[in-house]
Amino acid sequence: MVEDGYLRDLVLLRRWKRALLAKGADIAALLEQILSGKEVELGAGIPELGATGKEQRLRRFLELIDRGVKRAATDRFGRCTVCGDALLQAVLDEQPWTERCLLHPA
């Protein structure tokens, strides 16, 4: 089990929430370009999430980010949505939208 004291660090929580909001804005801008008929290249940092098309992939990623923003306002942020164990701080630093631990991949 991972030590979870960092999940109560308000500075870290604010940083992760800002990162979620910034990523959400970036993804929303890409989605807007697609909806206006422009061709965009999706980078490797955008998970597939079982989607086949670019629009669906971006919409699902926005939903994932939105869930992360909502969790950031609760004590569930930074915890696996399956088992409740704390996610690694390094994982949250890189991808604060992560919902599951390594034992419960999507």
Q: How far is CA 7 from CA 1, 12, 51, 83, in A?
A: 14, 8, 31, 16
> In the predicted model, is pLDDT for residue 2 greater than 70?
no
Dist CA 90 CA 88 (whole Å): 5
Each residue's pLDDT tens digit, 3-44:
788 888 899 999 999 999 999 999 999 999 999 999 999 988
Domain ranges for the chain: 5-94
pLDDT digits (tens, 9 = 90+) for 51-76: 889 999 999 999 999 999 999 989 89
Crossing angle between the packed helical segments 10-35 and 54-72, to the nearest 10 degrees: 160
Q: pTM of the entire structure?
A: 0.90
